[in-house]
Amino acid sequence: MIRRPLLLVLFLLIPSESFGQRVQVPLTVTRHRLENGLQILAREDHSLPVISFYTFFRVGSRNETVGLTGISHLFEHLMFNGAKKYGSKEFDRVLEANGGFSNAYTITDMTSYYQNFPSDKLELIIDLDSDRMASLALTEESLRSEREVVKEERGLRIDNEVSGAMMEQLYALAYLAHPYRWQTVGWMSDLDNITLQDCRQFFRTYYAPNNAVIVLSGDFKTEEAVALIRTYYGGIPSQPPPRPVGTIEPEQRGERRAVFQKPAELPALAVGYHGPSVRSEDIFVLEVLEVLLARGESSRLYRRLVYEEQAAVSVSAAFPWMLDPGLLTFSVEVKPDQKTEEVEGLLYAEIERLKQEPVPDRELRKAKNILQAEFVKGLETNNGTADNIGMYELLFGDWSMMRTALDRYEAVTAEDVARVARAYLSDSSRTVVTLIPEVE
């Protein structure tokens, strides 16, 4: 008799006051584990004959060291260069010939690879993906080729892109000790000096099955899928767990500032405040705060800086969830006839107003609606669902944290917004980079 795994059923409910009706999104996920430590999260959906297959590795730029920055992102490219069974350039060729599509991404805390494909090709995809986990071909030729690709990407995203270059300056100034101080793409000199031996050691350590989570969403039978994964992945040996990241960023005890000179059309500002990690309940409040201040043309900063004062061309903000304390950042493109220090003062005035004046119910309701709608929209496809399941699993240690996400947004009050603004958006926690355009 086959013992069936415990089913965890998630029902996501959007409160009636959000959209005028109750919306229910059922999500059933089963958890499995192979003897070598590989975790599997499976979610069946037979509405369409397609599957999304994700592999998450618990490694990102957070796990890098000085001298090896950018190696996590470099591996995102190396993983498509062939293995023992499927040789160089075969992965994409075979996948696309069978109606599939693949991609990958690297962020601070994880690296993710995914394929979308017809459901009758599941065994083929498992064969393809397990081949590169078991026996990735790491050669001087592949390293040399992909190194140049990554260096070119760094040039496009950082060196020759104003916003990317400013964010690199901001993070490098805001963090003294923690690996978050460098960007995922790494420093150019480190990319030049990564060796083949570095890559082989990195692969053994971080691309072992016990450091990975596979997430499937779509048209398959769970028992059959897990059996196939066991057949193809079960023989890949586990490795000693990676050394944990133990660096704790010291408290910032005063504003930090830098002037950045670069050829650009407009002056600009980048402002960052130290925030909490995903272990804090405040991350949901800070997301609401970020929407209130800078999400869209109706946000407070956009209305004040762009429409009313006509001092800026654009305003944006970001607060990415991270395993360790991250940054809430604001980016402002300043009009050429405006002084950056005056625009900066307008930004701080809106932040101060948020600390002192309760957010009106209607404005708070709108911010919650935006976040709740984005969350539900992210579950509309197999790909989005699998991505969310994996992200929550790696960040929170349990995908089922998703079951409380909508409620946590809903629970945010005007008092919470003011409290969190006062707690994190302080002058002593602030880092500012001012861009002064150079004349070429």
Mean pLDDT (the chain) is 94
> Are the C-beta atoms of 398 and 392 separated by less than 8 Å?
yes
* pLDDT in the model for residue 440: 65
Task: Scan for tokens 């767990």, then name that residue.
Answer: 241
Q: Of all helices (H) and strands (E), which one includes residue 415?
A: helix 414-424
Question: Comparing 11 with 5, which gets the higher pLDDT?
Answer: 11
> Are the C-beta atoms of 367 and 291 separated by less than 8 Å?
yes
3-class DSSP assignment, residue 289: helix
Q: Which string of DSSP letters, residue by residue, matches 97-164? A: HTT-EEEEEE-SS-EEEEEEEEGGGHHHHHHHHHHHHHHB---HHHHHHHHHHHHHHHIIIIIT-HHH
Query: Which residues, 6+ apart, have CB-to-CB distance to 211 below 8 Å?
Result: 37, 57, 58, 59, 205, 239, 241, 242
- What is the spatial distance between Cα 373 and Cα 20, in angstroms, rounded to a whole number? 13
- pLDDT tens digits, 279-297: 999 999 999 999 999 999 9
- pLDDT tens digits, 169-209: 999 999 999 999 999 999 999 999 999 999 999 999 999 99
Q: Tell me how crowded residue 19 is: count the other CB atoms within 10 A of its CB.
A: 13
Q: Say if strands 101-106 and 23-33 run parallel, antiparallel, or are unpaired.
A: unpaired
- In 3D space, the residue among 155, 156, 160, 158 whose CA is nearest the CA of residue 170 turns out to be 158
> Are the C-beta atoms of 200 and 208 separated by less than 8 Å?
no
> What mean pLDDT do residues 146-161 have?
96
pLDDT band for position 24 (cuts 50, 70, 90): low
Tokens of 131: 């081949």
- pLDDT tens digits, 239-258: 999 999 999 999 999 999 99
- In 3D space, the residue among 319, 267, 316, 261 whose CA is nearest the CA of residue 288 turns out to be 319
Tokens of 208: 């072992």
- pLDDT tens digits, 381-427: 999 999 999 999 999 999 999 989 999 999 999 999 999 999 999 99
Query: Which residues, 6+ apart, have CB-to-CB distance to 107 below 8 Å?
Result: 60, 61, 184, 320
- What is the spatial distance between Cα 199 and Cα 183, in angstroms, rounded to a whole number? 19
Q: Which string of DSSP letters, residue by residue, matches 32-90? A: EE-TTS-EEEEEE-TTSSEEEEEEEES-SGGG--TT-TTHHHHHHHHTTS-BSSS-TTH
Residue 5 has pLDDT above 60, yes or no: no
Residue 15 has pLDDT above 70, yes or no: no
- pLDDT tens digits, 62-72: 999 999 999 99
> What mean pLDDT do residues 132-141 have?
97
> What mean pLDDT do residues 365-393 have?
97
* pLDDT in the model for residue 22: 46
Tokens of 385: 């669902």
- What is the spatial distance between Cα 355 and Cα 353, in angstroms, rounded to a whole number? 5
Residue 433 has pLDDT above 50, yes or no: yes
- pLDDT tens digits, 300-356: 999 999 999 999 999 999 999 999 999 999 999 999 999 999 999 999 999 999 999
- What is the spatial distance between Cα 113 and Cα 76, in angstroms, rounded to a whole number? 8
For each of the domains in the chain, give its residue range(s) and CATH number, in order of start.
34-233 (3.30.830.10), 256-438 (3.30.830.10)
Tokens of 366: 């709108």
pLDDT band for position 27 (cuts 50, 70, 90): confident
Q: Please state the φ and ψ torsions of residue 323, each to the nearest 5 degrees.
A: -65, -35
Residue 438 has pLDDT above 70, yes or no: yes
> Are the C-beta atoms of 365 and 306 separated by less than 8 Å?
no
Residue 7 has pLDDT above 70, yes or no: no
